[in-house]
Amino acid sequence: MTLGQLLFSQLTDPFRIVLLIGLVYTMMRTRPVTGTLVPLASGVAFVAVIIPVTLTTGMGEPMWRQIAAGLVANSIILGIVLGLWSLYNRLRG
């Protein structure tokens, strides 16, 4: 599997997307206490590690490559989710 295919498969993983939406929702609720950057960075790293470690047994890719692609995919998805959240708040007034 090429790196592009691995990244595309992670970008279209519904479980990963739902976890990151939940991460943003939780961060918004706890922002006054925990801030923004630390929870988001920790959550992106957690999701990038936990999915390959628990769900992708027998995959031909090395674990480090799956995790690295997961970090990139999670960052892209997180950027999209935060952008949509900002757009929603701006349009809502």
pLDDT digits (tens, 9 = 90+) for 21-39: 999 999 999 999 999 999 9
Q: What is the pTM of this model?
A: 0.90
- CB–CB of 8/76 below 8 Å? no
pLDDT digits (tens, 9 = 90+) for 29-85: 999 999 999 999 999 999 999 999 998 667 788 899 999 999 999 999 999 999 999
What is residue 93's predicted lDDT score, i.e. its pLDDT? 77
What is residue 55's predicted lDDT score, i.e. its pLDDT? 82
Which one-letter DSSP state was computed for residue 13? -
In terms of phi and psi (left: phi > 0; alpha: psi -120 to 50; beta: otherwise), the region of 58 is left
Distance, in Å, from the CA atom of 61 to the CA atom of 80, rounded to the nearest integer, reads 26
Within 10 Å of residue 86's Cβ, how many Cβ atoms?
10
What is residue 16's predicted lDDT score, i.e. its pLDDT? 96
**Strand ranges (E), the chain:** none
Mean pLDDT across 11-29: 96
DSSP 17-41: HHHHHHHHHHHHHHHHHH-SHHHHH
Q: How far is CA 72 from CA 32, 40, 66, 90, in A?
A: 27, 14, 10, 27
